[in-house]
Amino acid sequence: MCTVCGCGEARVADADHHHDDHHDHGHDGHTHQHAQPAQVVIHHHHYYYHQGDVHHHYHGAAASEAPAAQSAHAHHHEHEHDHPHSHAHAHQHDHGGAQRHEHAHGHTHDHAHSHEHDHPHHHQDQTQHRFVRNLHYGKGAAGVSVPGMSQRKLIAIERDVLDKNNQLAAHNREHFTAARQLVLNLVSSPGSGKTTLLCETLRRLKDQRPCAVIEGDQQTSSDAERIRATGVAAVQVNTGKGCHLDAQMVHDACHRLELAEGGVLFIENVGNLVCPAGFDLGERAKVAVLSVTEGEEKPLKYPDMFAAAELMIINKTDLLPHVSFDVARCIENARRVNPDIQVIQLSASTGEGMEAWLGWLAAL
C-alpha cells in the first residue's frame, strides 16, 4: 500500500492490529502469551489459468479455511507420447480423450495443457486457449483489492485519508479565494508534455498576469529549474515514494511562494493518472493533459481522472502525421466518461492551438 493514499500494501498508523504469531510480552513481572493459529500459505499459480480462474492451494490449513468449492475445468485434446511420464505428485493420465488429473490437494481437473516435447502433439482446437476470462479486482465496494484487507477496512482507510485531505483542501481554497488566485491542477501520465506546456504558457502570460508554479515529482528538481528559467517562481515538491501531491504539500509549498493577488498558480502534479484523481488540492479545476503518443483509449482506461477533469488538453498534435491516433475517437471516449469535459487541441512545441488554451484561462 502506498503510504500516502492506500493504493498498495502498508500498515496504517494507530490502526487496530492483530498478532498472528506466538510471542511473549513482559510487563513488570507478568507475561502475556499469544497462541499461534494454523498457518495458511496461499500459492497463486499464475502460470496455470483456466477461464480466468486462479488456483489457490492451501497447505497447513484446517479444512474449514480452504475454499468451500473446488473448480473443475474441461479441455479436450489428444497427446501421443512415446515415453513415460513422471511427476512430483500423484496423478493419472488417460490419453486419447479427456485428460484427467487427480491431485493430492483434493480437487480434480479435466483439462488439456500444452507441453513442449520432441514427440508429435495433436490438438483438436488450436484456438481454445486464446479465450480466457479477465480478472477484475475493482468490482468490490471499495473499488480496489489489497491482499489480507477487507473491503470494509479499505473503505474506512480511504474515508479517513480523504476526509483529512479534504479539510486541508478547503482551507487552501479559502486562502486562494481571498487572494483571488486562479489555481489549476495539471494532471497526466509521465511524458505528456505538461512541463513544456507550462513553460510556453508562462512565457506568453509574462506581461499579462503574475504566475507561480508548484512542481510535483517523486525525485529531482529538474522541472522546477525549467520553470525558473522562464523567470517565474517555482517550488519543487518531491514526494519520495508518494504517487501524487496532497493538500498538505500544496499548503506548505504556498508558504514558500509569494503569490500575487489576482495571479495564477499552476500545480503540476506527479505523472500519474490514478491517485491524483481522488485528491482535492484546493484548486479551481483539474486539467488533464493527454499526448497523441499515448493512445485514444486513455480516458476509458483511467476514467476517474477524466471524470474529475474540467478540461482535456490533447497535446503534441504536431506528431499526428507520424502516429496512429484518432482524435475524434479520443474525444468521444472522454465524453463517454465525462459528458461536460471541454477539449483543446494544441502543440506546446510549435505553439499551434495555444491561443485557445490562453483564452480558456482568461475566461475563468
Predicted local confidence at residue 5, as pLDDT: 55
Give residues with Cβ within 8 angstroms of 358, minimum separation 6.
201, 204, 205
Q: Cα–Cα distance between 291 and 74 in angstroms, integer?
A: 45
Mean pLDDT, the chain, rounded, equals: 78
Q: Are strands 121-122 and 56-59 parallel, antiparallel or unpaired?
A: unpaired
Contact assessment for residue 348 and residue 193, using Cβ atoms and an 8 Å cutoff: yes
**pLDDT tens digits for 29-44?**
444 444 443 333 333 3
Q: Is the pLDDT of residue 53 over 90?
A: no
Predicted local confidence at residue 127, as pLDDT: 57
Angle of CA points 308, 310, 311, to nearest 5°: 120
Predicted local confidence at residue 131, as pLDDT: 81
Predicted local confidence at residue 188, as pLDDT: 97
**pLDDT tens digits for 64-73?**
333 333 433 4
Q: Is the pLDDT of residue 291 over 60?
A: yes
Length of the chain: 364
**Any idea which of 80-89, 129-138, 161-170, 182-191 has the lowest mean pLDDT?**
80-89
DSSP string, 185-250: EEE--TTSSHHHHHHHHHHHHTTTS-EEEEEEESS-SHHHHHHHTTT-EEEEEE-TT--S--HHHH
Q: Is the pLDDT of residue 86 over 50?
A: no
Q: How confident is the model at residue 130 (pLDDT cuts 50, 70, 90)?
A: confident
120-123 long-range contacts, CB within 8 A, separation 24+: 120/80, 121/79, 121/80, 122/77, 122/78, 122/79, 122/80, 123/77, 123/78
Phi, psi of 76 (to 5 degrees): -125, 125
Q: Cα–Cα distance between 171 and 176 in angstroms, integer?
A: 9
Of the two residues 15 and 252, the one the predictor is more confident about is 252
Q: How confident is the model at residue 336 (pLDDT cuts 50, 70, 90)?
A: very high
Predicted local confidence at residue 100, as pLDDT: 45
Contact assessment for residue 213 and residue 223, using Cβ atoms and an 8 Å cutoff: no
Report the run of H or E that residue 13 belongs to, with start and end.
none
Cell of 205: 502570460
Q: Is the pLDDT of residue 23 over 80?
A: no
Q: Cα–Cα distance between 317 and 352 in angstroms, integer?
A: 8
**What is the share, in percent, of the chain residues with pLDDT greater than 90?**
62
Q: Cα–Cα distance between 97 and 77 in angstroms, integer?
A: 7
**pLDDT tens digits for 240-283?**
999 999 999 999 999 999 899 999 999 999 999 999 999 999 99
Of the two residues 126 and 218, the one the predictor is more confident about is 218
Cell of 199: 513553460
